[in-house]
Structure 1
Amino acid sequence: MAQEVRDPQRHADAEYFTLLSGQKIPSVGLGTWRSGSDAAKAVCTAIVQAGYRHVDTAAEYGVQEEVGKGLKAAMQAGIAREDLFITSKLWCSDLAPDRVKYAVKKTLKELQLDYLDLYLIHWPFRLKDGAHRPPEAGEVLDFDMEGVWKEMEDLVRDGLVKDIGVCNYTVTKLNRLLKSAQIIPSVCQIEMHPGWRNDKMLEACKKYGIHVTAYSPLGSSERNLTHDPVVTTVANKLNKTPAQVLIKWAIQRGTSVIPKSKHEERIKENIQVFNWVIPEEDFQVLSTIKDQRRVLDGEVLFVNKDHGPYKSTAELWDNED
């Protein structure tokens, strides 16, 4: 198997990455998916006690009001807004040009913020309001990608967001977007870990200077990499936890990373990834773990094997795997 093409030492201790806009994105952020009512406490703990400056959330997570409470508490504790990097996402039912600004204003209200540092298209599929999961026939609507992106660009011009980007895109969809974009996406957020390295998208983004944020860096419930024998061997060798090794692997690869947790000890543990390095040989060993995309969430959300329009995981990902 080919070795990682990136220099794993180049970004070894990067606490920030610089985006196309010049804005800096912290290399480790707190993910808030499935945080529930614990989101406020988790966010405040992460920022005030653990030193996080990057928080990632989304309208679809249903926790933005709680995240907003946590952000407010952190700022009341003395953390300046300009020192924080807050990311949210535009959900599929709002993927229409006339709904973009309304959606971001609702998000800002829930988060109790005047602006976002980063706003992302959550998934590149437009769903009808109230669509089933997976959607029934007629519930996946035409997605005016170019029109929606133009509205996203206007959010930057209006000062509502500093940077815009995409999530869960394929190379095909990214190339389509770039043909009309006046503002190139600053960030592409995608699933990425040693068990699904997503090399094609990583290299496509690198080509255009688009920064990549890795979600699910520890693997998934179907394949939790913290228990993988390769990961645990490297962790024991370095006297680190498996989670720390996986997060560090992502940073050394040149990506920011958003591990999620609502437990204080793990939140603190997950950001203890600086001032040490995964040696080259161990980095390459981690990069040869068998690839296996986590497909469950995408299937649950969008794949309807009977009615389509996406009848398989391969169709969902433009047959790029």
Structure 2
Amino acid sequence: MPISLKPGPTVFPAKREDAMPFDFEGVWREMEECHRLGLAKAIGVSNFTTKHLDKILAAATVPPAVNQVELNPVWQQRKLRAYCAEKDIHVVAHSPLGGLKWSGSEGNAVLKSEVLAEIAKARGKSIAQVALRWIYEQGVSPIVKSFNKERLKQNVEIFDWELTKDDHIKIGQIPQKVVNTANGMFSPEGEFTSVDLSDMEFFEE
């Protein structure tokens, strides 16, 4: 998250009063120095909105190569994906199957999606495979986490088939719901005056 906390032990959820303004330009200059020194082949960001990227690009000599964000059929990030495509920033999807247990959300909107279940049944695939294939067909790279060997195998069996135009229309009509919000990183204690959560654009859709 593009959020900065006061120096000290990192504990989550953090107190809101411990939040500090994030130095976008200063942090990015140091990232560019790592790139210049050969310590990183490429540099990028995570959970950055279009507003955050505007701040980086205004000062960058090396633009971000990637922006890793929550992205799945239930949170499609259309505005952000269009912006990143225009700026030649590759998008990587974390939580591609909707799993974020620490967020306190109830259920899994991706794996419980009736639309995805219907497509999966018709195609002889799992819901997870349909979700991952949809992400792949958007030109996005999904990061999937599993310790189950069978699911690991299924997760890579998405490259020898395609979704239909009708499948894409149905997925495009799925109601959108973000799971990963900055609110989940902070306890209800204290005042939250240093960071503007509205800048996170969680409901940009």
TM-score of the alignment, normalized to the shorter chain, above 0.5: yes
Partner of 2:182: 298
Number of aligned pairs? 197
Amino acid at match of 1:299: N
Greater RCO structure (CA 8 Å; 6+ sep): 2
How many angstroms does 1:316 deviate by? 5.7
Report the identity percentage: 32
**Of residues 162, 165, 168 in structure 2, which corresponds to 1:283?**
168
TM-score normalized with structure 2 length:
0.87
The 3 A distance-change label for structure 1 pair 154 and 231 is same
Runs of 4+ in 1 over 6 A off after TM superposition: none
Distance 1:156 1:194 in 2: 34
Distance 2:163 2:83 in 1: 25
The 3 A distance-change label for structure 1 pair 131 and 213 is same
Amino acid at match of 2:174: I
**Is 1:124 the counterpart of 2:7 in the alignment?**
no
Distance 1:210 1:155 in 2: 19
Aligned partners of 1:248 and 1:278 also within 8 Å? yes
Distance 1:133 1:218 in 2: 23
Query: For 1:1-321, what aligned pairs fall within 5 Å after superposition?
Result: 123-128=1-6, 129-136=8-15, 138-220=17-99, 222=106, 223-295=108-180, 298-302=182-186, 304=188, 306-309=190-193, 315=198, 317-318=200-201, 321=204
Amino acid at match of 2:193: P
SS of residue paired to 2:86: helix
The 3 A distance-change label for structure 1 pair 261 and 200 is same
Unaligned ranges ≥5, structure 2 = none
Partner of 1:85: none
Amino acid at match of 1:225: V
Distance 2:136 2:29 in 1: 31
How many angstroms does 1:190 deviate by? 0.6
Distance 1:318 1:193 in 2: 17
TM-score normalized with structure 1 length:
0.57
**Of 221-230 and 197-206, the range deviating more from structure 2:** 221-230
SS of residue paired to 1:188: strand
The 3 A distance-change label for structure 1 pair 225 and 137 is closer
Distance 2:51 2:187 in 1: 19
Aligned partners of 2:19 and 2:195 also within 8 Å? no
CA RMSD of superposed structures (Å): 2.2
How many angstroms does 1:305 deviate by? 6.8
How many angstroms does 1:141 deviate by? 2.3
Q: Hey, which of these two has a bigger chunk of strand by percent?
A: 1
